Homo-oligomer: A and B are copies of this chain.
């Protein structure tokens, strides 16, 4: 038996653990750091050992997790579909929807698409532009339909359309809000045009039409931001809203010492009166439309 290089010996040992089932598919194999400790070798040796296993196809680097055991049953995308801008944008969209915008990193995206991070830059100039493409794609998913003749029905449909887009893609609340630098999105522009068209027959001045549109937009945007923050909190902490409230009860109690809040208390003890973002949307939508109706009455009267 010739003296085997240490890195091969280490790779062999980890291979044995995998084949014996002691390390199941998806499990993390020892990190380079762990290997240096366990075998008393240098980092370079540990890295080489893992690289050998990676080359064999036994393990794979999962960004954000570490090096994990590959599942041999999961038939790897043998039809290595070519990398295209659309494929990148769609994958990024899915990722943002399920794990939040923070999870969309070039490296993570690259492993999902089975390429290197740098290959993405051949199809997309950078992350900023990628996010812009994602918003445009998202705005194109839901059709607006023909504009109703009644301005109120039209504004209401526009608000519901926007709310649905945000509901499908909560992360969009973080990027859509800019008013003076509108998102360079064909589909977002079509939406604005649609709303202005709906208001065209009203006696409002062009400036008032734009203000009316953006008032409703800001309200829906504020709600979407709340939606997004809560979703993000759920993903980050793994806690539901109720669990979070329960866990933070002592802190809320401690804050009571800063002064009594009888009205807030009354509401909290009634369980927030079935307050949901859905009921808030319906309430606020009606109030805002009533307010705009008052202005239109005033102007035409």
Contact = CB atoms under 8 A, between A and B. Distances in A.
A273 B218 contact: no
Contact of A280 (B205, B215, B264): B215
Contacts of A177: 222, 225-226, 228-229
A281 to B, nearest CB: 9
B255 A184 contact: yes
A252 interface: yes
Nearest to A223: B218
Nearest to A187: B258
A287 B295 contact: yes
Contacts of A289: 291
B258 A179 contact: no
A178 B290 contact: no
Interface stretch (A79-87, A93-101, A189-197): A189-197
Given A206-B270, A225-B222, A189 B233 contact: no
Contacts of A262: 193
A15 to B, nearest CB: 34
A261 B222 contact: no
Given A180-B241, A273-B206, A291-B288, A219 B215 contact: yes
Given A210-B273, A261-B193, A178 B230 contact: yes
A179 to B, nearest CB: 5
Contacts of A200: 263
Contact of A220 (B222, B267, B291): B222
Given A222-B220, A229-B177, A251 B184 contact: yes
Chain B CB count within 10 A is highest, among A200, A223, A241, A258, for A223
Interface of A: 173-175, 177-181, 184, 186, 189-190, 192-193, 196-197, 200, 205-208, 210-212, 214-215, 217-223, 225-226, 228-230, 233, 241, 244-245, 248, 251-252, 255, 258-259, 261-264, 266-267, 270, 272-275, 277, 279-280, 283-284, 286-292, 294-295
